[in-house]
Amino acid sequence: MTMALNAQATSRADEPGAAAGGEMIHIHPLKAAFDKVVALLAIVIFSPLCVLIALAIKISGGLHPEDRGPVFYKEARVSQDRIFNLYKFRVLKTAVIEAARREKGYDHAKPLEGREANKTRVGRWLQRWYLDEVPQLFNVLKGDLSLVGPRPWPVSEYRRELAQGIYRKRILRPGLTGLVQAHKDELSAMGGDRVLDEAYIETCRTLGPVRLLLLDLRVIADTFRILVKGQGL
């Protein structure tokens, strides 16, 4: 199945706007049920860890004033033309976030995460192991995200691609992880993020629900392989 995806990615690499047209794909009930069941189980399993993380964030803020702030961070993302709040454990210093919004008009935090000095002490550790993304299981439970799909983009970048006639982030419900994240260590060799996003979209159009579910399981397993390496997503 991975070989088939590689072939699709290669064949579509030279097709600008291959996901053009923007016709949305509605998630199959089997995939939707799988998403919610797995998300609920994961929330139960990770709940003790989440409590510890919340305590660590608050304790760190008590010891280091520059790290003070809320446990959670949220920002606007888009799912099939619908804006929703994406949840994360806060990894950036509150002052950094507020300054970036006020002075540069940032609508998302990713550009700020490249500097270690912008992160809290707990945030550096959370991000290394992708634990800052755990609250997005609630986004899956709410139906904002699927477990597997193209990652959701901030509003500004979503609109920029639509203006260019590129619809990969509009067609399918976005995911907690996806082919891009599962193959982070070989992304360039596979054609880049856009090629892999469009390959998954095409696969969703052509595979039956059971085979798509098996593919999603493979993507989730590959994602854990990346996490074990400490590469983040």
pLDDT (tens digit, 9 = 90+) per residue, 52-63? 999 999 999 999
pLDDT by residue (tens digit) across 190-221?
Answer: 778 899 999 999 999 999 999 999 999 999 99
Cβ proximity of 10 and 191 under 8 Å: yes
Cβ proximity of 175 and 147 under 8 Å: yes
Residue at token pair 């600008």:
16
pLDDT by residue (tens digit) across 102-115?
Answer: 877 776 788 888 88
Residue at token pair 């997503």:
233
How many whole angstroms separate alpha carbon 170 and alpha carbon 159? 10
> Alpha helices of the chain — where are they, by DSSP H?
2-12, 29-63, 94-103, 121-128, 136-142, 155-163, 168-171, 179-182, 193-206, 209-228
* Coil/strand/helix, residue 180: helix
pLDDT by residue (tens digit) across 39-51?
Answer: 999 999 999 999 9
What DSSP line would sit under 13-67, residue for residue?
TT-TTTTTT-PPPPPPHHHHHHHHHHHHHHHHHHHHHHHHHHHHHHHHHHH-GGG
pLDDT by residue (tens digit) across 181-192?
Answer: 888 877 777 778
Residue 16 has pLDDT above 70, yes or no: no
Cβ proximity of 9 and 195 under 8 Å: yes
CA-based nearest residue to 89, from 116, 128, 35: 128
Task: Copy the structure tokens of residue 194.
Answer: 């856009």
Residue 10 has pLDDT above 90, yes or no: no
Cβ proximity of 4 and 188 under 8 Å: no
**pTM for the full predicted model:** 0.85
Chain centroid offset of residue 19 CA: 19
pLDDT by residue (tens digit) across 130-144?
Answer: 899 999 999 999 999
